[in-house]
Amino acid sequence: MRRAFAFLVMIVLLLVLGISSSDQAMRWVSKARYQQEGNLGSDKYRYGDLYGLSYLPDFRMLKDTSLITNQFTSEGLRDMDLYILGDSYLYSYIHMDTTNFARSKQVVFRKWSEGTAGAIVLQPTGNKKVLLIESVERNMGTLIDMLRVRAHLEGYKAPLTWNESFNATLADALYDPLLEQNIDFTLFNFQGLSFLKSLKAQVNLNLFHRTTPEVVLSRDHQFLYMKETMDSLQKGSSFYPISAEDIQVLLARMTKIEQYALSRGFDEVIFSFIPNPVAITQTESRRTNQLIVSLSKANHGQLHILDPTQVLAKGGKSYFFKSDSHWNQQGAQAWLNQLNQYLIKL
């Protein structure tokens, strides 16, 4: 009997390991869990991605996942093919079609994460070709990179040296960096177990004044933030020291990207960077590095930079989720309105 039980446990553990090691299997499990209601479903993102990391009970707030649509249905001039390189601040909140964008005859959206999807092909429509490059502040240093852009516009992939290739193969064979996270999701990510996670989180907060390492609780206990946007030692932080030289280096990279995009057939290139939520909602407690504002000022009108900082500051805390690392639909709407006014005048 003991042998049979031990054998059954071994089979179950091997099955969990197999599922957790397979990207395709994890996608299937994740989709099934997120769609499942009740105790067997997952609430990891239902109440905000930062709640799904921290499980603090005060932040168990149902997240609105609706998409903004039909914001620009004017029958006026439609003379633009709009191509967008963007992140979840856009595709998770705004429907990517012509009903939302001024002057657009066609809208082509590409996620930054789809860098291996091949080249974006410009259609010979005779319309003005506009490339919009968008990124949240914390990812600017990584995404505003020529190789990243080339990966999307021409399907370019930088070749690895022999030792880089060998090391990558060896690392893949020995250890999957997401394996531990996948195993935890496979075994324990059920809504029926959330109360235990919430209890643990509340005890840690009350007794030890700490949350999960990836999440920071605001001083007024009203918002959750990603640690990388708060930690002044991390480059994606709104408090990371930024020099005038850093600003010029970033502008130079953007200029080269614009020149490259123009050489690929685009007529205009627009850059838009979304401030980290903490840069808008907690400015009274700490002074931020003002990266996006400084970038816009130093640009002197040379590049098309759409800076939504002032627009978002008008809505302040009402434009961002308390338990998620993104803006809400109101914040997305404010940005979209600003972009459409820019496109009309472009």
Distance CA 107, CA 72 (A): 13
Q: How is residue 108 annotated by DSSP? A: E
Residue 26 carries which side chain, given as an amino acid letter? M
Q: Which pLDDT score, from 0 to 100, does residue 170 have?
A: 46
Q: How is residue 263 annotated by DSSP? A: H
Q: Is 290 left (phi over 0), alpha (psi -120 to 50) or beta?
A: left
- 268 burial via Cβ count (<10 Å: 0-12, 13-18, 19+): middle
What is the mean pLDDT for each group of 10 consecutive residues in the chain (346 residues)?
71 67 64 60 80 94 94 87 98 96 96 89 95 98 95 80 57 52 62 77 88 93 96 96 97 98 98 97 85 97 97 97 97 98 95
14's tokens: 């091997």
Q: Which pLDDT score, from 0 to 100, does residue 19 have?
A: 63
Distance CA 96, CA 98 (A): 7
State whether the Cα torsion 24-28-29-31 is positive or negative: positive
User: Between the CA of residue 341 and those of 47, 55, 85, 133, 334, what are the distances in Å?
Assistant: 33, 40, 19, 17, 11
Read off the pTM. Answer: 0.86
Contact 85, 132 (CB under 8 A): yes
Q: Which pLDDT score, from 0 to 100, does residue 240 have?
A: 97
Q: Which pLDDT score, from 0 to 100, does residue 117 have?
A: 82
Q: Which pLDDT score, from 0 to 100, does residue 190 have?
A: 64
